[in-house]
A and B are shown apart, each in its own frame.
Chain A
Amino acid sequence: GQNIDQPTEMTATEGAIVQINCTYQTSGFNGLFWYQQHAGEAPTFLSYNVLDGLEEKGRFSSFLSRSKGYSYLLLKELQMKDSASYLCARYNFNKFYFGSGTKLNVKP
């Protein structure tokens, strides 16, 4: 999807911290978004970054470096309910380009 790369799958332990990386092509960029999608459900919005730096929202934080075409989603104090796919999306003039998603497995 328009050169957006993220790992296919990750596994982490309940209570731990996990970082999900996303790289994207830097041309034509207006913002970077993260969505959570549980199996069989619709995506739900988590966060977005327009400027460089860290945006914190409770247990979830997202970081952006526009010059490097790089973002990450940080999930702290992992819970079993965090097992889901995490979708990275680039926004450019009304169009959203999604990565294939990272399936996160949280184990006890």
Chain B
Amino acid sequence: EAQVTQNPRYLITVTGKKLTVTCSQNMNHEYMSWYRQDPGLGLRQIYYSMNVEVTDKGDVPEGYKVSRKEKRNFPLILESPSPNQTSLYFCASRVGDRVFEQYFGPGTRLTVT
């Protein structure tokens, strides 16, 4: 089954404790993105990747890192999480440059205390 998976689905952590949210897709998509969703603000793009080793900042990259060492994986790293990073995070992928339909993962609900 074609899908985007994220782990963990739920995470409660403390300020400053490094964490990684994994994202994997099995559709051989070139493009992958990370978003956060907050009430009243909608989805905001954090980072995106156009292919292996090619990443760029989205609208709200501060406090986040990403890497794309393999085509299928695009982990989101929070080196020193803070309470304002409490949010619902979605990973998404799409085929490539001129194909715009994005497939979203199920989401990761992160709480930073």
Residues of A whose CB lies within 8 Å of any CB of B are 1-2, 4, 31, 33, 41-45, 48, 87, 89, 91, 94-101
Q: 20 extra interchain contacts, Cβ-Cβ under 8 A, other than A41-B106, A95-B59?
A: A1-B41, A1-B59, A2-B59, A31-B100, A33-B100, A42-B106, A43-B43, A43-B104, A45-B101, A45-B103, A91-B100, A94-B31, A95-B58, A96-B33, A96-B45, A96-B102, A98-B43, A98-B44, A100-B40, A101-B42
Let me know if A48 and B48 touch, CB within 8 A: no
Which residues does chain A contribute within 8 Å of B100, judged by CB atoms?
A: 31, 33, 48, 91
Alpha-carbon distance between A95 and B92 when the two chains are bound, in angstroms: 12
Prevailing SS type, chain B contact patch: strand
Can you offer 26 A-B residue contacts whose CB atoms are under 8 A? Answer: A1-B41, A1-B42, A1-B43, A1-B59, A4-B42, A41-B106, A41-B107, A42-B105, A42-B106, A43-B43, A43-B104, A44-B104, A45-B103, A48-B100, A87-B42, A89-B43, A91-B100, A94-B50, A95-B48, A95-B59, A96-B43, A96-B102, A98-B43, A98-B44, A99-B42, A100-B42
Q: Chain B, 91-113, contact with A by CB distance < 8 Å: what is the 0/1 string?
A: 00000000011111111000000
Which residues does chain B contribute within 8 Å of A99, judged by CB atoms?
A: 42
Let me know if B90 and A43 touch, CB within 8 A: yes
Let me know if A97 and B59 touch, CB within 8 A: yes
Which residues does chain A contribute within 8 Å of B104, judged by CB atoms?
A: 42-44
Alpha-carbon distance between A74 and B105 when the two chains are bound, in angstroms: 26
Closest CB in chain A relative to B109 CB, distance in Å: 10
Q: How large is the interface on B (under 10, 10 to 19, 20 to 34, 35 or more residues)?
A: 20 to 34
Alpha-carbon distance between A41 and B109 when the two chains are bound, in angstroms: 11
Let me know if B41 and A42 touch, CB within 8 A: no
Alpha-carbon distance between A97 and B105 when the two chains are bound, in angstroms: 18
Alpha-carbon distance between A41 and B9 when the two chains are bound, in angstroms: 12
Closest CB in chain B relative to A46 CB, distance in Å: 10
